[in-house]
Amino acid sequence: MPGGDPNDRISTSGYVLFFGPNPVSWSSKKQQVVARSSNEAEYKSVANALAELIWVRNLLNELRITIPNTPTIFCDNVGVTYLYHNPVFHSGMKHIAVDFCYATNQVQAHHVLVTHTHACDQLADTFTKPLPKPAFGWCHSKLGIVALHLT
């Protein structure tokens, strides 16, 4: 969401990468500048996830571990998902040109798939925003997070 922080209007990007059912990398970080739209904030978030995904994929290749399927990035913004598959560059996107070109090239080359997921199914939200208790519990169970009861 643009203006995620009410004090400075800067959005928070977040992602979690899975290898099979296991989370192997995750991040939650404020974006560097104020996004001009929710699409821009989401686009930057997907680009950040893509950069990490490429890094993890290269690491696995170095370790001779094959990824059986094309990695998928789930995005809860239909407009951004559409933009990755039907790239249309316009003057309002000049400031994200490098991310735009790199990310769409990865999608067009079938190195990664960007697909839509409903906002209620977006696991990265647990890293970026306060959630109601049921959604928080659902995300944590999907991430494999369990409470430790120390005695």
* Residue 89 is assigned to a structural domain of this protein: yes
* Residue 65 is assigned to a structural domain of this protein: yes
**What pTM was computed for the model?**
0.73
Counting Cβ atoms within 10 Å, is residue 60 exposed (0-12), middle (13-18) or buried (19+)? middle
* Residue 36 is assigned to a structural domain of this protein: yes
Domain count for the chain, please give it: 1
Residue-wise pLDDT tens digits, 28-71: 888 777 776 667 778 888 888 898 999 999 999 999 998 888 89
Task: Report pLDDT for 1.
Answer: 40
* Residue 5 is assigned to a structural domain of this protein: no
| Spatial separation of the C-alpha atoms in residues 5 and 102, rounded to whole Å | 28
Q: Give the structural domain span for 75.
A: 12-143
Higher pLDDT, 28 or 2: 28
* Residue 120 is assigned to a structural domain of this protein: yes
* Residue 151 is assigned to a structural domain of this protein: no
* Residue 134 is assigned to a structural domain of this protein: yes
